[in-house]
């Protein structure tokens, strides 16, 4: 009697492993498929643009295909690690639900804790999904309200954690909480955990994405240039606001690659040669940033001039003649203005983070001390607020978009899915 049971267990384990491999393969291949579709979609526009400059169509098509083939291989290798991280995150979430159930429930049941965690997550996250659906035609208001709701839930999760860890504070749940209270606690803590993972994981993802682009500077630079050539193939799509925003973002990414990583593809042993090469790459990066200004303020001939510049830079990178990298003499004044604007945004975010601490500190100094029950959570929240403001300031200084903006956008996309 035991042999059929063991065989059935073995078959179920094998089926689960096959399903896991299939899901991993599907996740990886979907990313590779998107790169292949992008290559096919933009090939004709790129070939036509280079053909007008006297290049043979089959040669350009081969270069175009080789770039995307190399990027697809990179995506295939990194997709496995992404799936492993996703699986580890699911396991950690289930373990978190079980741990919360063990802590708060006297009658502990692992399956019940998991179901309570899933139900609590949907129950607490439901209003965010409802706001997303109701405000689908008002994306800015949708982003702000969903972000504020998630911030409130995260603050509640922090109060619960603070109360249980210190034994003080305005929110105490205690063991033996059953029914709806237990489900609500599971949901709030799950959302708080998700926010923490998004903030920390977002920083890690930005770093990893940057490292991936810098690992293959030639291929990623050419991909950005090919995308820019495709988007500037005709006047009507080029003049759309969303297209120009995308092109400015591409120019910023391309400038980073040219400035930081392009010279590493040569790595000359001579200090003088290395210094000159880095300087030329930096000048090329500045020229690319000026092209972002072109796109922002287009004139009648901007599209054709911009596409010619993109084609010329792509020719330089494909041929390896780095002495032909572009140089922009008008960069100085624009660079000074942009750096002053970035510094102003950096100081503004630091001020936003420091003002609440200064206000509460002033109240304490002049006798307006909050009660002991809420003093700890208030100070904890204020220091976290300062840390988030500092991270946002550093993000805005580097990319022009704050961490808070990116987090709100990520929450909005998650609620839509």
Residues 61 and 175 placed together within one structural domain of the fold: yes
CB 32 within 8 A of CB 72: yes
Model pLDDT for residues 308-325, shown as the tens digit of each residue: 999 999 999 998 888 888
Does the pLDDT of residue 367 top 70, yes or no?
no
Residues 133 and 220 placed together within one structural domain of the fold: no
Model pLDDT for residues 373-417, shown as the tens digit of each residue: 556 667 777 787 788 777 777 665 554 444 444 444 444 444 444
Does the pLDDT of residue 89 top 80, yes or no?
no
CB 190 within 8 A of CB 221: no
Model pLDDT for residues 337-364, shown as the tens digit of each residue: 556 666 777 778 788 878 888 877 777 7
Residues 164 and 243 placed together within one structural domain of the fold: no
CA distance 251 to 136: 30
Residues 21 and 170 placed together within one structural domain of the fold: yes
Model pLDDT for residues 201-243, shown as the tens digit of each residue: 777 777 777 777 778 888 889 999 999 999 998 888 888 888 9
Residues 196 and 70 placed together within one structural domain of the fold: yes
Residues 223 and 176 placed together within one structural domain of the fold: no
Model pLDDT for residues 293-313, shown as the tens digit of each residue: 888 888 888 899 999 999 999
Q: In CATH, what number is assigned to the domain containing residue 224? A: 1.20.120
Residues 111 and 14 placed together within one structural domain of the fold: yes
Note the pLDDT of residue 312: 92
What average pLDDT does the structure give for the chain? 75
Residues 235 and 221 placed together within one structural domain of the fold: yes
Residues 201 and 224 placed together within one structural domain of the fold: no
Q: Among the ranges 57-71, 95-109, 198-212, which has the highest mean pLDDT value?
A: 57-71
Q: Which residues contact 268 (CB under 8 A, 6 or more apart)?
A: 274, 277
Domain range for residue 33? 2-213
pLDDT category of residue 15 using cuts at 50, 70 and 90: low
Domain count, the chain: 2
Residues 116 and 232 placed together within one structural domain of the fold: no
CB 73 within 8 A of CB 65: no
**Domain-terminating residue out of 213, 241, 260:** 213
**Domain-terminating residue out of 329, 351, 380:** 329
Note the pLDDT of residue 299: 85
Does the pLDDT of residue 125 top 90, yes or no?
no
Instruction: Please give the full DSSP string across 158-173, using - where no structure is assigned.
Output: HHHHHHHHHS-SS---
Cα-atom radius of gyration of the chain, to the nearest Å? Answer: 27
Residues 235 and 155 placed together within one structural domain of the fold: no
Note the pLDDT of residue 256: 87
CB 357 within 8 A of CB 382: yes
pLDDT category of residue 1 using cuts at 50, 70 and 90: very low
């Amino acid at each position: 009697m035991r042999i059929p049971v063991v065989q059935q267990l073995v078959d179920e384990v094998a089926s689960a492993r096959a399903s896991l491999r299939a899901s991993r393969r599907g996740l990886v291949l979907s990313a590779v498929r998107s790169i292949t579709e992008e290559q096919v979609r933009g090939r004709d526009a790129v070939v036509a643009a280079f053909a007008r400059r006297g290049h043979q169509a089959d040669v350009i098509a081969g270069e175009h295909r080789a770039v995307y083939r190399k990027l697809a291989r990179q995506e295939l290798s990194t997709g496995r690690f992404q799936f492993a991280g996703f699986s580890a995150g699911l396991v950690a979430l289930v373990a978190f639900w079980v741990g919360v159930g063990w802590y708060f429930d006297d009658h502990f049941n692992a399956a019940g804790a998991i179901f309570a965690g899933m139900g609590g997550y949907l129950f607490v996250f439901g209003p965010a999904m409802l706001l997303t659906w109701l405000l689908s035609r008002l994306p800015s208001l949708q982003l702000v309200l969903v972000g504020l709701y998630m911030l409130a839930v995260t603050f509640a999760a922090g109060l619960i954690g603070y109360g249980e860890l210190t034994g003080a504070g305005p929110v105490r749940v205690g063991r033996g909480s059953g029914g709806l209270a237990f489900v609500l606690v599971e949901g709030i803590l799950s959302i708080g955990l998700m926010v923490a993972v998004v903030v920390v994981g977002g920083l890690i993802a930005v770093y990893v994405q940057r490292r991936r682009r810098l690992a293959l500077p030639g291929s990623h630079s050419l991909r950005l240039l090919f995308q820019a050539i495709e988007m500037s193939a005709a006047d009507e799509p080029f003049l759309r606001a969303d297209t120009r925003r995308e092109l400015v973002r591409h120019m910023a990414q391309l400038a980073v690659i040219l400035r930081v990583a392009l010279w590493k593809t040569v790595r000359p042993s001579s200090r003088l040669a290395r210094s000159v090469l880095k300087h030329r790459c930096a000048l090329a990066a500045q020229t690319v940033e000026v092209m972002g200004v072109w796109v922002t303020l287009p004139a009648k001939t901007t599209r054709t001039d911009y596409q010619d510049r993109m084609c010329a830079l792509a020719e330089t990178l494909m041929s390896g003649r780095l002495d032909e990298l572009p140089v922009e003499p008008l960069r100085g004044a624009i660079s000074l203005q942009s750096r002053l604007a970035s510094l102003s945004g950096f100081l503004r975010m630091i001020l936003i983070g420091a003002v609440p601490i200064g206000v509460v500190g002033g109240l304490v100094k002049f006798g307006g001390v909050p009660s002991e029950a809420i003093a700890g959570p208030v100070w904890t929240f204020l220091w976290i607020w300062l840390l988030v403001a500092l991270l946002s300031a550093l993000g805005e200084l580097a990319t022009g978009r704050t961490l808070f903006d990116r987090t709100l956008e990520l929450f909005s996309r998650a609620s839509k899915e």
